[in-house]
Amino acid sequence: MAENALQHYATDVVQAALTAERQSIAEGVIVGEIRMARRFWPQFGINVAAGLASALVFAAILTAVAVVVLADVSPAQIIQERYDRRSGEVTNEEAHTPVPRQAR
């Protein structure tokens, strides 16, 4: 009978300790959430600034790629322009016809 009472007392002590621990964890979580709510707007501002910065970097890269692609300079065209410069002719880009260089 004494052993049974001791076992019952031990179970009550463990339950009381677990209840107190659960209560402190719940209070800690609630306090943590309140603190996180206060930090929302600064973090939101940082996230917006980072998003704008990444958008600007993406736009710059996209613009650079568009310039390279739309310039459409082929290696054959570069070689032809160098050959025309060496031979003394200047090409007219609109008409794509050689124009003789004027005498100085």
Q: Which residue range forms the structural domain that includes residue 6?
A: 1-38
- 99 forms bridges with which residues in the sheet? 90
The full DSSP string for 43-57 is: HHHHHHHHHHHHHHH
What's this model's pTM, rounded to 2 decimal places?
A: 0.41
Under 8 Å between Cβ of 50 and 57: no
- What is the distance between the alpha carbons of residues 22 and 73, in angstroms, rounded to a whole number? 71
Is 23 part of any domain? yes
Is 9 part of any domain? yes
What confidence score (pLDDT) does residue 85 get?
A: 82
Under 8 Å between Cβ of 84 and 99: no
Is 14 part of any domain? yes
Is 6 part of any domain? yes
Is 18 part of any domain? yes
Is 70 part of any domain? no
Q: Mean pLDDT, consecutive 10-residue segments, the chain of 104 residues?
A: 84 89 85 78 91 98 90 79 76 55 58
What confidence score (pLDDT) does residue 98 get?
A: 55
What confidence score (pLDDT) does residue 24 get?
A: 87
How many structural domains compose the chain?
1
Is 12 part of any domain? yes
The full DSSP string for 1-43 is: -HHHHHHHHHHHHHHHHHHHHHHHHHHHHHHHHHHHHHTHHHH
Q: Tell me the one-letter amino acid at 61.
A: I
Is 74 part of any domain? no
